[in-house]
Amino acid sequence: MVEHSDWRVGAASAPVHHGEILQGVFAGRDGLVRGLVTLPCTIHTTRATFTPASGTRVTVSPDWKGKARRAAELAVRAVVPAGAGVAGGHLELTGDVPLCRGFGSSTSDVLAAIWAVKDAFADPLPPREVARLAVRAETASDSLMFEDSTVLFAQREGTVIEDFGYRMPPLRVLGFGSRPSNRGKGVDTLALPPARYDGAEIERFARLRDMLRDAIQMKDVALLGAVATASAEINQRHLPVPGFDRIRDIARTSGAVGVQVAHSGDIAGLLFDRDDPEVETRTALAQDLLRNTGIDEQWNYTTGD
């Protein structure tokens, strides 16, 4: 039984992602299933604290963070034995994650909440259980809880379709707002219907899955970029990025290895080999070329150790 003396304020922080490297429909254990591979991102963070309390009520601040509150409730039930005398508490969230852009703001909230509860009770909640709780809290989740490996993740089931075994090879990501007319307002992702892929696209996803497996296992940045570009091209039929052909041309001109997009958002990125000796020059050229097309909302970061 969890005693009052065992309670402590749990604290955690959760990252965001930068849209997807690959998203589509894939063969899973029980047939075709929607899945995605997210691109890690380091430029925004959600922080959470969870203070356990007697009773059954979980409160949250800000009070509109209902998905995070639900996640904390589910996490408490998962880690605290029935009859232990604590099933409630207060969750407090802070951070700087923009909403509706494709950064995975709701998953970041949910993950920070679950991890804060985990910390409060010092429970070794594994990533696959965290994923299950996250999907229950928000219907569809990204795969931010898998920090040590790259996974093809069924975002509506909360299960791993395939674990590729390694992290992605290191990248320099030049991110930007892909819809300048939005001025950072983002996209109403909840209003977007799930993409309906045709047979040819589903066959192409299978080939891209194989390519991505090879890219990750061989640490082949160029092959990873080719997968991301192909996925972005397929996405043009479902949530088109304005001026995509020009963006793809800028990628070629600047020496980027590929283009990636948020499949439900308004951010995109040019991918570069982080370890390329010319990466700074290539990134600067791409920044100038993007500005010349009217895209001046930009940021950049690196992935990998």
Same-domain status, 244 and 179: yes
Same-domain status, 236 and 262: yes
At residue 1, the pLDDT reads 41
Same-domain status, 184 and 116: no
pLDDT, greater one: 244 or 185: 244
pLDDT digits (tens, 9 = 90+) for 122-179: 888 999 999 999 999 998 899 999 999 999 999 999 999 999 999 999 999 999 998 7
- Whether the Cβ atoms of residue 47 and residue 35 lie closer than 8 Å to each other: no
Same-domain status, 25 and 123: yes
Same-domain status, 124 and 200: no
pLDDT digits (tens, 9 = 90+) for 56-103: 799 999 999 999 999 999 999 999 876 666 778 999 999 999 988 889
CATH number assigned to the domain comprising residue 251: 3.30.70.890
Whether pLDDT at 284 is above 60 = yes
Give the three-class secondary structure for 295: coil
Same-domain status, 295 and 219: yes
∠ CA 225-144-210, nearest 5°, is 40
At residue 165, the pLDDT reads 95
- Whether the Cβ atoms of residue 150 and residue 216 lie closer than 8 Å to each other: yes
Query: In the listed set 119, 144, 163, which residue is the last one of a domain according to the structure?
Result: 163
Same-domain status, 43 and 146: yes
pLDDT, greater one: 181 or 33: 33
Residue with tokens 């409630």: 88
Same-domain status, 20 and 141: yes
Give the three-class secondary structure for 22: strand
pTM: 0.90
Strand-pair partners of 13: 47
pLDDT digits (tens, 9 = 90+) for 216-262: 999 999 999 999 999 999 999 988 899 999 999 999 999 999 999 99
Q: Average the pLDDT over 42-63 and give the result.
A: 93
Residue with tokens 């930009």: 298
| pLDDT tier for residue 180 given thresholds of 50, 70 and 90 | low
Whether pLDDT at 6 is above 80 = no
Whether pLDDT at 4 is above 80 = no
Strand-pair partners of 260: 269
Domain extent, residue 51, equals 4-163
pLDDT digits (tens, 9 = 90+) for 249-265: 999 999 999 999 998 88
Same-domain status, 184 and 157: no
Same-domain status, 22 and 148: yes
Same-domain status, 73 and 214: no
Report strand pairing: 159-163 vs 151-154. antiparallel
Query: In the listed set 163, 187, 205, which residue is the last one of a domain according to the structure?
Result: 163
Mean pLDDT (the chain) is 91
CATH number assigned to the domain comprising residue 41: 3.30.230.10
Number of separate domains in the chain:
2
Same-domain status, 60 and 35: yes
CA–CA dist 125, 253 (Å, integer)? 46
